[in-house]
Each structure stands twice: as structure tokens, then as C-alpha cells.
Amino acid sequence: MTNNEISEIRDYVEKRKVILPDGTKVSALGQGTWYMGENYSKKNEEIKSLKLGLELGMNLIDTAEMYGDGLSEELVGEVINDIRKDVFLISKVYPNNAGLNSISKACENSLKRLKTDYLDLYLLHWRGGIPLEETIEGMERLKKEGKILRWGVSNFDTDDMEELLNKSMGGNCVVNEVLYHLGSRGIEFDLLPWQRKKNIPTIAYCPLAQGGLLKNELLRNETLDEIAEEHSVKPLQIALAWTIREKNIISIPKASTVDHVIENAKATSITLSSKDIERLEVVFQKPNRKMSLDIV
């Protein structure tokens, strides 16, 4: 890519921002890392891809101690080693490590793998058996120690979020990361509007569906193909643009190749018309009732 091409794409990416409750602005399009770092033969390409994503303005990187039992964090650590200040870094803690006596050690281990001394955002990966009060206290302690700047949750449904916010300091939760894509819209019935009302942004993981048959069925849809052709882009770019069509949603697709990174970044230049969205909703319908939270 030429410098002009990089600059042009970066301009589009940087125009799409989400504002966190504390006023911090982050890219609406970030980079997921699930399964990255697990195949040594792909390591160099994955590092190159993540670095290009950062160069293109996708400065938010999401990882977790669960991903490859820390291999993803180690990979990300190599990517951000000399550019840490330019990255908004997210990692997640296992529910069984989210107790008051264990969360500090889990966070320290993640920091070591990531080769940094702080996280911009630390998430409880999903709800487990440890009381929320204990996890909140642990998160707040990590904030006071400077090991994390903010905390949030992942895979929390509406009732979980309501319970969380009713706890002391539970209102300090800044995001909820959940599965969300054209083929999985259940959160639109209650969770998404509830979070908007509370000014809690949503991070959409697996915004292109999570590989395999589901992804193929999603991206081979005739309507999606037609809209993509009209915009002179690929179906995956339309699907990705759809996830960030409204404010307060951060989308974190994974891209293990340079070409895929570029395709993802270019999705920020797509403006879907109301007619485009209506056509998609005929095929990928909005929920008309409460649905169980999809989790992958």
C-alpha cells in the first residue's frame, strides 16, 4: 500500500469514534485476536496484520487470557511493544480468576504477557460463580494500583447488567462485550436499548459470525450480495459496516491477513442508506421478543 492509500483509509477509520462514559474516544472499528498466536506458522502474518490495522487507525485491540491460554496476549505484546501509548488495549479475566484474591495475579500475568504495565480496559469474560461485589472490588483495587484504567464485562444479559449496576461501584462498568452480527440480533430487543439509556457502549465480538458454516451462510446471502455489488464492495464489508451503523457500538473483527485487515478498515467508508438497512432487515429480521443471549 502507498502512503496515500494508508492515509485515505485512516481518515475514514478515524472519523468513526465511540465515546466511553469517561469521555475517552476510541475507534468504532477495532481488532479482535481470538485464535491468534496459536499457530506458529501464522505468527509473522498475524503480527504484520495487527500492525497494519494500527497504522490504518484501528487502535483498539481486544484479547483475553483465555485466548490460546495466553498465546494471543503474547502475540499482541510483540505487536505493541514499541507503540504502547498509541494502542487502546483490552484484555479479559476468566470468571474463576475474578475473585478478590485472584484477580490481581491474573491481571499481573496478562500484563507480563502483553509486556505492558497497564490495561486501558479489563473485562470479566463472562459471569461465573464469584459474587459480583467481589469482582467489582477487585477491579476497583486494580484501578487504584494503576494496573487498569477502566473495567467492564462481557457476555452479560440485561438482567445481569441491571444487577451489576445496583451493586456498590457497579456503575463504574464502562462497556459490555457481546456477540452481535446480522445473523444474531437478539440484543436489539432489550439489552442494546438498555445500555444506550445507561450510556454504556457495546462491543460487538464476532461481527462477521465466527467462521465455518454460520459465516458462510451469512456472507452468501443474496440480498447482502446485491447491496455489496451496488456499493462496489464485498459482502463482509457490508456486514461489518452494518454493525457500526449507529453510535455506541464498537466492532472488533479478527483479521489474520493483510488483505483482510484492509477490507475491514475500508468498511468504515461505507454509509448504508435507510433503504439498504430495510432490505437487510427483511432477511435478517429484528427480534420481536426477548431472546437468550448468544454466546460463542
Residues known to be catalytic: 67
Q: Beta-carbon neighbour count of residue 275 at 10 Å?
A: 9
* Angle (CA) 262 266 271, round 5°: 165
Of residues 32, 19, 43, 57, the one with CA closest to residue 255: 32
Element (H, E) at 103: helix 103-114
Written as nine digits, the cell of 186 is 437478539
What does the DSSP 8-state code read for residue 255?
Answer: -
Residues paired with 176 in a beta bridge: 153, 202
CA Rg value for the chain: 18
Q: Beta-carbon neighbour count of residue 13 at 10 Å?
A: 22
* Angle (CA) 95 101 104, round 5°: 75
